[in-house]
C-alpha cells in the first residue's frame, strides 16, 4: 500500500459500487480495500472480486468484523439502511460518504461547496437529481432571488434499481430540501419520472426557476458557466435548452455516462458516483497536506 | 362475467377531467358534481389533480385549489359514495398519502407505466398500513403484451394491491385487445380487475363492455367523457349499455343523466370530441399529451402532424420523450414529407 493513499471500503455491490471501485483504481489517492455486499452469491460481489478487490458478504457487520480500519466508507446501499450504517461507523472515525438519498450528512455538491467536503465526517450527496440540478440552480441564485424552484428528473428505467425505486420518497424530500437550502427559494418541488422508452434516454433534468428580474442573456451566461464547471467533474453534462419567459427561467440539462462500465444513458449514476469520488479525494488531499500542495 | 352480475362503476370525472381544463376545477364545481353523482348512487368518485395528488406543478399544470381542499370538499359532498384518488410514485410521497387518508379517502390508486410495477411497491404497502384500499394501475397498457401485463399485475398484488387496473391511456384498444388482456390478468391474480378506457377511436364503451365480459369487475367512466383530448368512456352511456347487457350497477340512471347534464353545464367549456389529432394519436398509440409539441414541430418543419404521430408510434415514444418530437419532424422534413 503506497503511503499517499487513503483506505476506502464500499457498502453495496450494485452498479454504483462497482463504478466506485473502478474510479478508485484510477485515482492516485484512493485505494479500495473492501467491497461489502448483502449476500455472498451476489453477482456484483463476484465482479468486484474480478476487479481485484477483497470482498465480504453480510452488510455493515461484515465491514466492522473485517478487522480493517478504513479512512473512508462509501454507502451505496439504500436510504432505509443508511442511518444504521452511520450509527455504527461514526465511532470508528471513518468518513462516511452517503450515495443514498438521505439527508443526515453535510450536503456536498462538488462545484458548489466541494471544498468543504474535508471538514465533515458524514457527507450526504443529496441525490442524482440534486447533483445534476443544484450546480445550475445555485449559480442562478447568486444573481436572482428565486421564489419557486421546480426540478423534474427523468431517468431511464434500466438505470433505476430496486433500492432506488423503494427510495422515491426520500429522493423527493431530500432533493427538495437541498434545493431550498442551496438556492434560498421559499418553495421547491421535485419529481422523478422513470422512463421505459427504448433505447433508454439519457438522464434529463428540467429546471424551472420563478424569480423576478430574470433576463435571458444573463441566465444563459450563468447557466453555461455552471455547466462548464460541472463538466470538469462529469464530462457528459450539457445544457440542451435555456429560455426565459417573464419571471420564469427554464433550463434543461442532460447527463450521459462516459465511462466503460456505465451504459451511456446512466447519467444518474455517473453524476453521484463522480461526486462521491470528488468528496473522497478532498479528504485524501486534506489528510496528506503534501499532496494538497502538489495538487495545486 | 355472467349477465345479472355486478359491475362497480368508478367515476374519475373530477380527476381525469382536470386535464381538459388545465386542472382548474374549483371547490364549487367539485361539490356540485360530487353531490349529484352521490345522489345517483355512483359507488366510487375519484378526485384530484389530473396527474394525481402531489402533481400540481409548472411541469404539468398547477391546480386551482390544493389537494387538501379538493379532497375535503368532495368528502363532505359524498354521503354514500366512496372517495378515491390517484398518485404517481416519484410525484407524490407517502406524506401526501397520509394527508389524503386523513381527509377520508377510501381508495388510493398507485399508477406506473405498464412495465414499471415495481415502483408501486412501497406506496401500495403504505396505503394498506393507513387502512385505505390500495389499487395498482398500469398506464399506457397497450404497450405491453397480455402476458407482461398479467405479470406486472401479479407483482402489484404481491406488494399489497387489493385490485388492479389497466388504463388505455392512448385510446388505442379494440375490444379484442381488451378481452385478451383482461382474460390474462384475471387468470393471473385473485383480486378484482378494473379497466379505464379512452375514446380516441370511438371504442371506449365497446372496450369497457369487452372488459366486463372478460371478467373485469370495475369499469371507469366520466360524465360526458370529460377528460383530455378525445375524452374517457362516457359514464352515462356506459351505465345505460351495461344495463341493456344485464349488468347491475346500483346506479339510478335517470339521476345520473341529470348529473351528466350538470357536468356539461358546470365543469367543461365543451364536451370532449374526437378531433383529427386525437384520432391519429389513438391510432398510433401515442400519449395524447404530445398534441401541442407535435403541432408546433409540424408547423416549424412544414410537415403534417399526422405523419409525426404515426412515426412517434412506430418509435414507441412515451411521455417524457418530448425531445423526440422535433427530431422526428426534422427527419420527416429531410425525407421530403411535405404537408
The domain ranges of chain B are 8-266, 276-334
| Mutation to test the A interface, candidates B58, B125, B286, most A Cβ within 10 Å | B58
User: Are A157 and B55 an interchain contact pair (Cβ–Cβ within 8 Å)?
Assistant: no
- To the nearest whole angstrom, how far is the Cα of A19 from the nearest Cα of chain B? 24
Residues of A near B (Cβ–Cβ under 8 Å) read 148, 150, 152, 154, 157, 162, 165-166, 168-169, 171-173, 189, 191-198, 201, 204, 206, 208, 210, 240, 248
Residue bearing the bigger pLDDT, A259 or B234: B234
Neighbouring C-beta atoms of residue A65, cutoff 10 Å: 10
Mean pLDDT of A84-108: 96
Mean pLDDT of B193-199: 98
Residue whose C-alpha is closest to residue B30's, from B55, B52, B13, B11: B13
Whether the pLDDT of residue B267 is over 90: the answer is yes
- CATH code of the domain in which A149 resides: 3.30.360.10
- Give the C-alpha separation, A72 to A60, whole Å: 14
Mean pLDDT of A81-94: 96
pLDDT band at A1 (very low <50, low <70, confident <90, very high): very low
Neighbouring C-beta atoms of residue A213, cutoff 10 Å: 9
Cβ–Cβ contact B320 with A under 8 A: yes
Residues A133 and A258 grouped into a single domain = yes
Residues A153 and A279 grouped into a single domain = no
Residues A132 and A216 grouped into a single domain = yes
Residue B315's pLDDT is what? 86
Residue B292's pLDDT is what? 83
Whether the pLDDT of residue A295 is over 70: the answer is no
Residue B31's pLDDT is what? 98
pLDDT band at B60 (very low <50, low <70, confident <90, very high): confident
- Give the C-alpha separation, B35 to A85, whole Å: 52
Cβ–Cβ contact B113 with A under 8 A: yes
User: Are A195 and B90 an interchain contact pair (Cβ–Cβ within 8 Å)?
Assistant: no
Residues A17-33: tens digit of each pLDDT? 999 999 999 999 999 99
In CATH terms, the fold of domain B8-266 is TIM Barrel (3.20.20)
Residues A114 and A216 grouped into a single domain = no
Whether the pLDDT of residue B151 is over 50: the answer is yes
Structural domain contains residue A288: yes
Residue bearing the bigger pLDDT, A290 or B301: B301
Residues A213 and A288 grouped into a single domain = no
Number of domains into which chain A is organized: 2
- To the nearest whole angstrom, how far is the Cα of A31 from the nearest Cα of chain B? 35
Mean pLDDT of A265-278: 97
Computed over every residue of chain A, the mean pLDDT equals: 94
Residues A250 and A199 grouped into a single domain = yes
Domain extent at residue A259:
128-264
Residue B289's pLDDT is what? 77
User: Are B323 and A193 an interchain contact pair (Cβ–Cβ within 8 Å)?
Assistant: no
Residue whose C-alpha is closest to residue B180's, from B130, B146, B141, B129: B146
Residue B1's pLDDT is what? 47
User: Are B316 and A197 an interchain contact pair (Cβ–Cβ within 8 Å)?
Assistant: yes
Contacts with A198 from chain B: Cβ below 8 Å: 316
Residues A284 and A255 grouped into a single domain = no
Residue A175's pLDDT is what? 98
Contacts with A193 from chain B: Cβ below 8 Å: 90, 319-320
- A128 as an active site residue: the answer is yes
Residue whose C-alpha is closest to residue B74's, from B98, B104, B111: B104
Contacts with A204 from chain B: Cβ below 8 Å: 320, 323
Whether the pLDDT of residue A146 is over 60: the answer is yes
In CATH terms, the fold of domain B276-334 is Helicase, Ruva Protein; domain 3 (1.10.8)
Q: What is the 3-state secondary structure (H, E, C) of chain A?
A: CCCCCEEEEEECCCHHHHHHHHHHHCCCCEEEEEEEECCCCCHHHHHHHHCCCCEEECHHHHHHHCCCCCCEEEECCCCCCHHHHHHHHHHHCCEEEECCCCCCCEECCHHHHHHHHHHCCEEECCCHHHHHHHHHHHHHHCCCCCCEEEEEEEEEHHHCCHHHHHCHHHHHHHHHHHHHHHHCCCEEEEEEEEECCCCCCCEEEEEEEECCCCCHHHHHHHHHHHHHHHHCCCCCEEEEEEEEECCEEEEEEEECCCCCCCCCCCHHHHHHHHHHHHHHHHHHHHHCHHHHHHHC
Mean pLDDT of A64-72: 95
Give CA A168 to chain center in angstroms: 16
Structural domain contains residue A1: no
Residues A210-251: tens digit of each pLDDT? 999 999 999 999 999 999 999 999 999 999 999 999 999 999
Residues A14 and A120 grouped into a single domain = yes
Residue A292's pLDDT is what? 54
Residues A159 and A280 grouped into a single domain = no
Residue B2's pLDDT is what? 52
User: Are B319 and A193 an interchain contact pair (Cβ–Cβ within 8 Å)?
Assistant: yes
Amino acid at each position: 500500500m503506497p503511503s499517499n493513499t487513503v483506505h476506502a471500503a464500499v457498502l453495496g455491490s450494485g452498479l454504483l459500487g462497482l463504478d466506485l471501485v473502478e474510479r478508485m483504481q484510477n485515482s492516485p489517492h484512493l485505494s479500495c480495500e473492501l467491497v461489502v455486499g448483502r449476500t455472498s452469491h451476489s453477482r456484483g460481489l463476484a465482479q468486484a472480486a474480478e476487479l481485484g478487490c477483497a470482498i465480504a458478504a453480510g452488510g455493515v457487520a461484515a465491514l466492522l468484523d473485517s478487522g480493517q480500519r478504513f479512512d473512508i466508507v462509501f454507502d451505496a446501499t439504500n436510504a432505509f439502511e443508511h442511518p444504521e450504517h452511520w450509527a455504527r461507523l461514526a465511532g470508528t472515525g471513518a468518513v462516511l460518504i452517503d450515495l443514498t438519498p438521505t439527508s443526515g450528512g453535510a450536503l456536498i455538491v462538488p462545484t458548489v461547496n466541494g471544498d468543504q467536503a474535508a471538514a465533515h465526517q458524514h457527507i450526504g450527496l443529496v441525490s442524482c437529481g440534486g447533483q445534476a440540478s443544484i450546480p445550475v440552480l445555485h449559480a442562478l441564485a447568486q444573481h436572482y432571488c428565486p421564489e419557486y424552484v421546480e426540478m423534474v428528473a427523468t431517468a431511464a428505467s434500466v438505470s433505476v434499481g430496486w433500492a432506488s425505486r423503494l427510495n422515491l420518497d426520500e429522493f423527493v424530500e431530500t432533493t427538495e430540501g437541498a434545493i431550498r437550502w442551496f438556492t434560498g427559494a421559499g418553495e421547491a418541488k421535485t419529481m422523478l419520472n422513470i422512463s421505459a422508452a427504448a433505447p433508454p434516454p439519457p438522464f434529463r433534468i428540467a429546471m424551472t426557476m420563478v424569480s423576478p428580474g430574470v433576463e435571458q442573456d444573463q441566465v444563459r451566461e450563468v447557466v453555461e458557466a455552471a455547466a462548464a464547471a460541472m463538466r470538469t467533474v462529469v464530462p457528459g453534462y450539457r445544457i440542451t435548452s435555456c429560455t426565459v419567459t417573464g419571471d420564469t427561467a427554464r433550463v434543461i440539462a442532460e447527463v450521459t455516462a462516459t465511462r466503460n462500465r456505465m451504459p451511456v444513458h446512466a447519467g444518474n449514476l455517473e453524476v453521484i458516483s463522480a461526486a462521491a469520488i470528488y468528496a473522497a479525494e478532498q479528504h485524501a488531499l486534506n489528510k496528506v497536506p503534501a499532496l494538497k500542495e502538489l495538487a495545486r | 362475467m355472467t349477465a345479472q352480475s355486478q359491475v362497480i362503476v368508478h367515476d374519475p370525472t373530477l380527476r381525469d377531467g382536470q386535464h381538459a381544463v388545465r386542472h382548474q376545477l374549483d371547490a364549487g364545481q367539485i361539490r356540485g358534481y360530487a353531490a349529484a353523482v352521490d345522489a345517483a348512487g355512483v359507488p366510487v368518485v375519484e378526485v384530484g389533480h389530473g396527474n394525481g395528488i402531489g402533481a400540481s406543478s409548472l411541469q404539468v399544470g398547477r391546480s386551482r385549489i390544493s389537494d387538501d381542499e379538493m379532497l375535503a370538499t368532495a368528502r363532505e359532498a359524498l354521503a354514500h359514495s366512496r372517495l378515491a384518488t390517484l398518485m404517481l410514485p416519484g410525484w407524490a410521497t407517502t406524506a401526501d398519502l397520509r394527508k389524503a387518508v386523513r381527509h377520508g379517502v377510501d381508495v388510493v390508486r398507485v399508477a406506473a407505466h405498464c412495465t414499471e410495477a415495481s415502483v408501486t411497491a412501497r406506496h401500495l404497502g403504505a396505503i394498506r398500513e393507513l387502512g385505505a384500499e390500495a389499487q395498482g394501475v398500469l398506464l399506457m397498457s397497450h404497450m405491453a403484451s397480455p402476458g407482461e401485463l398479467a405479470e406486472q399485475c401479479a407483482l402489484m398484488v404481491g406488494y399489497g394491491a387489493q385490485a388492479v387496473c389497466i388504463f388505455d391511456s392512448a385510446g388505442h384498444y379494440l375490444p379484442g385487445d381488451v378481452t385478451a388482456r383482461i382474460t390474462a390478468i384475471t387468470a393471473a391474480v385473485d383480486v378484482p380487475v378494473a379497466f379505464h378506457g379512452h375514446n380516441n377511436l370511438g371504442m371506449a364503451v365497446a372496450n369497457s363492455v369487452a372488459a366486463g365480459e372478460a371478467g373485469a369487475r370495475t369499469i371507469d367512466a366520466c360524465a360526458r367523457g370529460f377528460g383530455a383530448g378525445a375524452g374517457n368512456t362516457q359514464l352515462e352511456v356506459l351505465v345505460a349499455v351495461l344495463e341493456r347487457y344485464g349488468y347491475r350497477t346500483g346506479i339510478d340512471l335517470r339521476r345520473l343523466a341529470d348529473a351528466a347534464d350538470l357536468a356539461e353545464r358546470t365543469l367543461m367549456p365543451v364536451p370532449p370530441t374526437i378531433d383529427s389529432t386525437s384520432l391519429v394519436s389513438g391510432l398510433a398509440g401515442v400519449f395524447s399529451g404530445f398534441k401541442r409539441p407535435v403541432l408546433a414541430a409540424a408547423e416549424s418543419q412544414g410537415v403534417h402532424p399526422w405523419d409525426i404521430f404515426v412515426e412517434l408510434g412506430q418509435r414507441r415514444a412515451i411521455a417524457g420523450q418530448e425531445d423526440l418530437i422535433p427530431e422526428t419532424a426534422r427527419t420527416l422534413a429531410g425525407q421530403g414529407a411535405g404537408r
